[in-house]
Amino acid sequence: MIPSTLEYTKATSIDEAIAAVQAGARPLAGGQSLLPMMRLRLAAPGAVVDLGGVAELVGVCEDGDEIAVGAMTTHRAVAADPLIGEHCRVVAQAASGVGSLVIRGRGTIGGSLAHADPHGDLPAAILAVGGSVIARGPGGERRIEIGDLITSYLTTSLADDEIITQVRLPKGNAQSAYAKFHRRAIDWSIVGVGVAIGPDGVRAAATGVGDKPARVTGFEAALNGGASLDEAAAAAGDGLDPSSDLDGSAEYKRHLVGVLAKRAYLEAQG
Amino acid sequence: MATVERKTGGGIGEAVLRKEDRKFVTGEGRYVDDLRLPGMLHAVFVRSPFGHAKVKGIDIAAAEALPGVHRVLTHATLPAETGVLCASNPPGSDVRQPEQPLLARDEVRYVGEPVAIVIADDRYIARDGADLVLVDYDPLPVVCDAEAALADGAPLVHSGYPDNAAATLVHETEGFAEAMQGAARTVELRVVNQRVTPMPMETRGCIGDWQQATGEVTLYTSTQVAHFVRTFISFVCGTSEAKVRVVTPDVGGGFGAKLNTYREEFAVCSASRVMGVPVKWIEDRSENAVATIHGRDQVQYYTAGVDESGRIVALKFDAIQNNGAYHQLLTPTISHLTVFMVPGCYDIQNISIRMRQAFTNTTPTDAYRGAGRPEATHGIERLMDAIADDLGLDAAEVRRVNFIQPEQFPYSSSTGLVYDSGDYDTTLDEALRLADYAGFAARRAASEANGKHRGIGLSTYVEVCGLAPSAVTAAIGVGAPGWEHSTVRLHPTGKATVITGTSPHGQGHATSWSQIVQTELGIPFEDVEVIHGDTAFQPYGLGTYGSRSLAVGGVALHRSLGKVREKAREIAANLLECSVDDLEWTGTSWQVKGSPDRAKTIQELAGAAWAASSMPEGVEPVLEATTFHDPPNFTFPFGTHVCEVEIDPETGRVEVVNYTAVDDCGNVINPMIVDGQVHGGIIQGLGQALYEETVYGEDGQMLTPTLVEYLVPSAADVPPMTLARTTTPSPSNPMGVKGIGEAGTIAASAAIVNAAVDALSGLGVRHLEMPLQPARVWNVIQEAKS
């Protein structure tokens, strides 16, 4: 539980942070995932750059059809934000259930996406509403859809010298909800499902079902094709490939996806 | 959840706020890790990543070359007279005591076994250095499961023995076979009591400080048994016990895990001897998961011969205890305590017991809150429900027909104990009333209408505590007595110091002991200081474990207070110019009978005894007394816990919706502290029932090494609880006290699991194993439905 020796710097601007990342530093957001991994020596970056001093990375505002969320906005702030609550309730709800109050007070939305934990709640909730991120590197900015951002277990399509600066959440997802299943109040989701009911139909995405968050296509297709909710729930696990582990078998987890998708859908309907 | 109104000072029976809490809640507690000695270096242990392997070589060159690393010590360079010693040799059990060197010599037998120590300027450098120690391992076959370990052809944990048997206890009463044959029916049940990790908030840690010129060594350590550690340091490190001082500053929880003497405690002393400066080691959380003892891990096979009323006419108990790779301080005794309590609170006189203990490639098991008794209670209470289930009887009625009756006390059990007192029907009645047992059917119907399964479960327990009469500890092969020490010292100003040999690690001794002093001597609660935890100034004390502090240490205090009061009486008689027989004790002073104007307060008498100018003939100055109290018997607290759960059949989640505990721990000193012990105990039992399990993979790797995998319940996971008490004083001590430290843990797991099984009984489910993971429960539901 003692990290290996490392260099620490604290950036005060995005440009400073990118310069440090270019020089090989690992970006440190809220530290709620990276630091435990460093203490377990599962991660041993030689240098980290703390983004906690970059004011321009914090805050939520409207931008046309989207809500722009600064990458360093904490889960606690996301959970309480009226704009997100109004237009993308599933994201606020997912943020409100992350870990404990202490973790929500430090953990950030951008950090959660960049860390790409296969049991993270925010990636699934944002995937359910079709969100994206703005990544910035020395060459400028680009937009990455959430579905393209997280590529595998703890792995993203970000370049080594890019950081996430913003999360973009499309409006029109007021009818949405997040249902998670975990054991103790502070635990990671074993499985979590976000559901959004929009003008184009139902979108659903799950965490804990493989090496990255996934759309629950069996559930979406059934509902959008006119099947009953129970039929959709029964089809929810189709095509998903969760691992069997101490939390339960793959079969159990696929079953949970259906249970949670149904519960989230009913809650989203209001 | 509180049953009492709290106050800030008072005597026996009052819910006084804990005087020690201010320092803890303001962060001013002083733990081992807060201590910094001049010149101190820091140690990190290199530990085995394999469950079983030959150690072919250790290359320390790169680690010793790291700037800041002073030395890397291995078995070859760390001095020790012997390995870790086990103090438990149950007679007639053929116990094997394998050598447990401080650092592995040529073989490692569990993940986490220490192989080398890196000593550096700070802990960070030492940890970096540990990564640079290159150990050449040659992996060997592993066995982690105790039943597998005792099977023919199992890999040998210790190649020097022909099999993995660690010890075997056998006990059968005369007439057992006939009674079993004559039984109308038999009920069988296999129960697994899974391995768990004690997980105290403060991990272990110690500082060894060896003075080379004098040979004196001071060990600062987080322990429950300072004097015992001192004795063993002298054996293992090869020095006079009189030169060893063990200091226990504040200790942040133990739960039995610190009722031990560990390799690291000896190793830091020997390392300090080599280095010439103090050496500190602080265990980190993941290290704690593998390096500190585990608890439970017992598989039980019950066969009960019963009559048509559910009364047990004969009971066969065949069990296997997983001892781990080595024997720690009391390892072979823990399952012996299970053996004692197999019959529980039931009148079972025909009994046959076999307890086999096995070596495996796992961390050693030893005392964990309840220590052997939770295993016994969980098993017999599951069995009671299985009997009720098989015979179609009510679970409460099956217990009633088997209860030992109040007129049977003192009751000689078929396992050799003499239960002191009890009234089991009364606690059961009260618990059923408080839990509204009669109204359960309506609540179940309401849950079913909501798509949930609801169940109610009982646990009627008795435990043995107040460890222990020294003749008994000797008879069962424990190499330590069971008495306790107290000293009461009155100062010239009338204030009091109490020195107690039972050193607390969260129990609130400073408060409870002060309350006893106020009641027995009339010195106000606020004027009493309780000190403990330094062998340099304390007479030998046995420590805090086995719910013994009050029933043994508190009684030792009570006796010392009586001695002081009687000595004060002689001094008072001299000052008041009367006979001692003319005096009566008012609670705060000695007065001439019927004459309140002719009295001396205890404070006045303390001053007079110190001034010594007017002492009776032959009476020594100063009011001070010491007692070494050896209890004549154990104490036997008991009670009934009732749990109600709801199960979500879609997910398998078990939710405790109501929990009622009626405990009888005899007379109570501080009801608030007793409530706290019951709350904490229940939560720890709930942890085992619902969440906690220490899991090893088939390759010997531990799969639950962090608090992400090993699920300790948090405050948010605590169910609503209703507590109540009945009072049946123990006749074994003048205070009538019994002990409450472990009762909640002993009772809770069975109540919760029984409720869960009851919830699913409509589906034909007869048994569930712990922990009640949602996935496991869901699987059972699917199997029951198909």
Task: Show the domains of chain B with their CATH numbers.
Answer: 32-140+203-251+258-291 (3.90.1170.50), 295-467+633-785 (3.30.365.10), 483-629 (3.30.365.10)
Helix (H) or strand (E) holding B443: helix B440-449
Round to whole Å and give the CA distance between B175 and B381.
Answer: 24
Average pLDDT, integer, range B534-563: 95
Q: Do A185 and B695 touch (CB under 8 A)?
A: no
A187 touches chain B (CB under 8 A): yes
CA–CA distances in Å: residue B448 to residues A260, B338, B453, B649, B651: 20, 38, 6, 11, 15
Query: What is the length of chain B?
Result: 786
Average pLDDT, integer, range A238-252: 96
Is residue B241 within 8 Å of B221, Cβ to Cβ? no
- pLDDT for res B6: 75
- pLDDT range class, residue B1, cuts 50, 70, 90: very low
Round to whole Å and give the CA distance between B90 and B99.
Answer: 18
CA–CA distances in Å: residue B540 to residues A194, A255, B449, B465: 62, 60, 62, 21
CA–CA distances in Å: residue A112 to residues A81, A167, B40: 17, 11, 41
CA distance, residue A74 to nearest chain B CA (Å): 22
Pick from A42, A101, A186, A190 the residue to mutate for testing the B interface (most B CBs within 10 Å). A186
- pLDDT for res A1: 84
Pick from B651, B706, B786 the residue to mutate for testing the A interface (most A CBs within 10 Å). B651
- pLDDT for res B2: 46
CA–CA distances in Å: residue A109 to residues A121, A129, B90, B273: 10, 15, 59, 52
To 10 degrees, what angle do helices B671-686 and B743-759 make? 50
Residue of B nearest to A37 (CA): B706
The answer to whether residue B4 scores a pLDDT higher than 70 is no
Average pLDDT, integer, range B67-79: 97
Nearest to B113 by CA among B92, B99, B93: B99
Q: Which residue has the tokens 């995937």?
A: A127
Is residue B217 within 8 Å of B245, Cβ to Cβ? yes
A101 touches chain B (CB under 8 A): no
| HEC-encoded secondary structure of chain A | CCCCCCEEEECCCHHHHHHHHHCCCEEECCCCCHHHHHHCCCCCCCEEEEHHHCHHHCCEEEECCEEEEECCCEHHHHHHCHHHHHHEHHHHHHHHCCCCHHHHHHCEHHHHHHHCCCCCHHHHHHHHCCCEEEEEECCEEEEEEHHHHEEECCEECCCCCCEEEEEEEECCECCEEEEEECCCCCCCCCEEEEEEEECCEEEEEEECCCCCCEECHHHHHHHHCCCCHHHHHHHCCCCCCCCCECCECHHHHHHHHHHHHHHHHHHHHC
Round to whole Å and give the CA distance between B214 and B243.
Answer: 8
A259 touches chain B (CB under 8 A): yes
Q: Which residues partner with B505 through β-bridges? A: none
Q: Do A2 and B124 touch (CB under 8 A)?
A: yes
Round to whole Å and give the CA distance between A115 and A112.
Answer: 5
Mean pLDDT of chain A: 97
Peptide linkage before B771 cis (omega within 30 of 0): yes
Burial group, residue B493, by CB count within 10 angstroms (0-12, 13-18, 19+) = exposed
In tens, the pLDDT along B217-256 reads 999 999 999 999 999 999 999 999 999 999 999 999 999 9
Round to whole Å and give the CA distance between B657 and B391.
Answer: 28
Residue of A nearest to B705 (CA): A40
User: To the nearest 10°, the Cα dihedral for B367, B371, B372, B378?
Assistant: -130
Is residue B641 within 8 Å of B682, Cβ to Cβ? yes
Could you give the ipTM of this predicted complex? 0.95
Query: What is the length of chain A?
Result: 270
Contacts of A248 in chain B (CB under 8 A): 773-775, 778
Q: Residue B4 has which token pair?
A: 């009492």
CA–CA distances in Å: residue A131 to residues A91, A113, A116, A143, A173: 10, 11, 15, 10, 11
The answer to whether residue A111 scores a pLDDT higher than 50 is yes
DSSP-based three-state secondary structure for B271: helix
Is residue B318 within 8 Å of B354, Cβ to Cβ? yes
CA distance, residue A103 to nearest chain B CA (Å): 14
End-to-end CA distance of chain A: 45
Which architecture characterizes domain A190-269 according to CATH? 2-Layer Sandwich (3.30)
To 10 degrees, what angle do helices A121-128 and A89-96 make? 170
If phi over 0 gives left and psi between -120 and 50 gives alpha, with beta otherwise, what is residue B706?
beta
Considering the four listed CATH numbers 3.40.50.1390, 3.30.200.20, 3.30.465.10, 3.40.50.300, the one that applies to the domain covering A63-170 is 3.30.465.10
* Phi, psi values for residue B661, rounded to 5°: -125, 125
The answer to whether residue B48 scores a pLDDT higher than 90 is yes
Angle of CA points A80, A83, A88, to nearest 5°? 90
- pLDDT for res B370: 95
A266 touches chain B (CB under 8 A): no
- pLDDT for res B128: 96
Average pLDDT, integer, range B737-751: 96
In tens, the pLDDT along B421-456 reads 999 999 999 999 999 999 999 999 999 999 999 999
Q: Parallel, antiparallel, or unpaired for β B185-196 and B107-108?
A: unpaired
Is residue A253 within 8 Å of A219, Cβ to Cβ? no
Residue pairs between chains A and B whose CB atoms are closer than 8 Å:
60
The answer to whether residue B538 scores a pLDDT higher than 80 is yes
Average pLDDT, integer, range B609-638: 97
Pick from B778, B780, B781 the residue to mutate for testing the A interface (most A CBs within 10 Å). B778
- pLDDT for res A93: 98
Give the start-end residues of each E strand in B463-525: 484-490, 496-500
Q: Residue B358 has which token pair?
A: 């096995």
CA distance, residue A67 to nearest chain B CA (Å): 33
Contacts of A183 in chain B (CB under 8 A): 691, 711, 773-774
Angle of CA points B726, B729, B732, to nearest 5°? 150
Q: Parallel, antiparallel, or unpaired for β B624-629 and B528-531?
A: unpaired
Q: Do B695 and A252 touch (CB under 8 A)?
A: no
Average pLDDT, integer, range B558-573: 98
- pLDDT for res A199: 85
Q: Residue B730 has which token pair?
A: 């123990």
Round to whole Å and give the CA distance between A78 and A56.
Answer: 16
Angle of CA points A249, A254, A258, to nearest 5°? 140
% of chain B exceeding 70 in pLDDT: 99
The answer to whether residue A218 scores a pLDDT higher than 80 is yes
What are the sequence ranges of the domains in chain A?
Answer: 7-49, 63-170, 190-269
Burial group, residue B468, by CB count within 10 angstroms (0-12, 13-18, 19+) = buried
Q: Do A183 and B773 touch (CB under 8 A)?
A: yes
Give the start-end residues of each E strand in B468-509: 484-490, 496-500
- Round the CA-based radius of gyration of chain A to a whole number and report it: 18
Q: Do A184 and B717 touch (CB under 8 A)?
A: yes
Q: Do B775 and A249 touch (CB under 8 A)?
A: yes
Round to whole Å and give the CA distance between B118 and B279.
Answer: 11
- pLDDT for res B7: 81
The conformation of residue B762, written as its DSSP 8-state character, comes to G
CB atoms < 10 A from the CB of B449, how many? 8
Round to whole Å and give the CA distance between B329 and B460.
Answer: 30
- pLDDT range class, residue B3, cuts 50, 70, 90: low
